[in-house]
């Protein structure tokens, strides 16, 4: 099927420039807890223009790109490009909750972004399209492509497990393991998952849905999934907006993915479609992957314990620049 015959697919990406002094001043005004003061979660690596270059080179079929910011515009961005839609928080979040610095709150109501298509792919700003992809890599027959691997949630420190476990509480109100397997057995156990099917096997002794495997790559979403979950659990999901900063009581956008998986609204895709890397610990592997295009999608995760931020950043920018030196139409 040609790209032209497929439904329009939008990209949504959220971004913040933590070095922006006016933004820092606003954030400091609302800081209460010491743990909210960490700058790692908000620091900008300077990779965003390469995100746009990679999109233009590897996914030119994208319909619109919705860039979510808090009144911050990247200095390279060409706002005259008809594909770019700049979204500020007040465009879809009620003013009484603003300003907000909680990514869980920013992401969980994305369906309310004006003009967003039914089919969209959600990116964090550390997720890159590293090689040529088709819209059918993300949607097939109108359904999201994903990996429906079940996996126990592990509550460990410095993770988002508390938020994903909160989300699983909602999922278990509407689905059971047996019901999911009965209706969608070959989507949950599928040859495309390879050895990751073992993860699902480990969950079978329990009747509840223990969790789904989160491989932390861009997520294909139906906007109608968000609307369905919001209609069921508006009271619970709205609690996110009471937290300007991340809270262990938050529900994450993953609840929307879990609903899609549990309801069978997806087409199985290999668990090797993307690769998650930790900057610092795996910088050499990152550089090699960008050069060789080993994976179609790569995630470059920031770390609290990176020893030399400037060195790591410059090394990765250098390989991005040498591999993708030409400006995109998204740049001025």
Q: What is the pLDDT of residues 145-175, one digit of tens each?
A: 999 999 987 766 655 667 888 889 999 999 9
In a domain, 328, yes or no: no
95-98 LR contacts (CB < 8 Å, sep 24+): 97/241, 97/242
Q: What is the model's pLDDT at position 1?
A: 46
Q: What is the pLDDT of residues 245-276, one digit of tens each?
A: 988 889 999 999 999 999 999 999 999 999 99
In a domain, 329, yes or no: no
Q: What is the pLDDT of residues 197-222, one digit of tens each?
A: 999 999 998 888 888 998 889 999 99
In a domain, 20, yes or no: yes
Instruction: List b or e across 16-29, with b for residues whose CB sees 16 or more CB atoms inside 10 angstroms.
Output: bbeebeebeeebee
Q: What is the model's pLDDT at position 274?
A: 93
Say which residues have a Cβ less than 8 Å from residue 22's Cβ, sequence separation at least 6: none
* Three-state DSSP class for residue 201: helix
In a domain, 169, yes or no: yes
In a domain, 330, yes or no: no
Report how many domains make up the chain. 1
Q: Are the C-beta atoms of residues 213 and 150 closer than 8 Å to each other?
A: yes
The residues that bridge with 86 in the sheet, in sequence order, are 67
For residue 248, the domain's CATH number is 3.90.550
Rounded to whole angstroms, the Cα distance separating 217 from 259 reads 17
In a domain, 331, yes or no: no
What is the extent of the structural domain holding 208?
Answer: 3-323
In a domain, 55, yes or no: yes
Rounded to whole angstroms, the Cα distance separating 137 from 135 reads 5
In a domain, 265, yes or no: yes
* Three-state DSSP class for residue 267: strand
């Amino acid at each position: 099927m040609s790209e032209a015959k497929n439904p329009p697919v939008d990209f949504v990406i959220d971004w913040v420039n933590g070095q922006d002094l006016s933004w820092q001043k606003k954030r400091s005004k609302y800081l209460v807890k010491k743990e909210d003061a960490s700058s790692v979660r908000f620091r900008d690596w300077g990779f965003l223009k390469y995100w746009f270059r990679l999109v233009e080179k590897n996914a030119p079929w994208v319909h619109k790109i919705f860039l979510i910011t808090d009144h911050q515009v990247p200095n390279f961005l060409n706002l005259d490009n008809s594909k770019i839609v700049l979204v500020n928080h007040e465009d879809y979040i009620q003013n009484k909750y603003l300003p907000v610095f909680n990514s869980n709150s920013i992401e969980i109501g994305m369906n309310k972004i004006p003009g967003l298509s039914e089919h969209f792919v959600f990116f964090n700003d550390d997720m890159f399209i590293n090689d040529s992809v088709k819209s059918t890599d993300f949607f097939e027959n109108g359904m999201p492509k994903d990996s429906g691997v079940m996996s126990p949630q592990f509550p460990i420190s410095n993770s988002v497990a508390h938020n994903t476990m909160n989300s699983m509480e909602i999922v278990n109100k509407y689905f059971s393991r047996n019901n999911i397997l009965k209706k969608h057995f070959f989507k949950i156990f599928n040859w495309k998952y390879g050895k990751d099917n073992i993860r699902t096997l480990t969950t079978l002794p329990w009747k509840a849905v223990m969790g789904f495997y989160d491989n932390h790559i861009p997520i294909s979403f139906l906007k109608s999934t968000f609307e369905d979950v919001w209609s069921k659990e508006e009271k619970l999901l709205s609690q996110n907006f009471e937290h300007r900063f991340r809270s262990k009581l938050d529900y994450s956008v993953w609840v929307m993915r879990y609903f899609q998986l549990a309801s069978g609204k997806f087409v199985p895709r290999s668990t090797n479609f993307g690769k998650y890397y930790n900057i610092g610990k795996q910088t050499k592997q990152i550089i090699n992957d960008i050069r060789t295009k080993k994976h179609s999608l790569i995630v470059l995760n920031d770390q609290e314990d990176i020893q030399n931020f400037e060195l790591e950043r410059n090394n990765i920018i250098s390989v991005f620049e040498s591999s993708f030196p030409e400006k995109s139409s998204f740049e001025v």
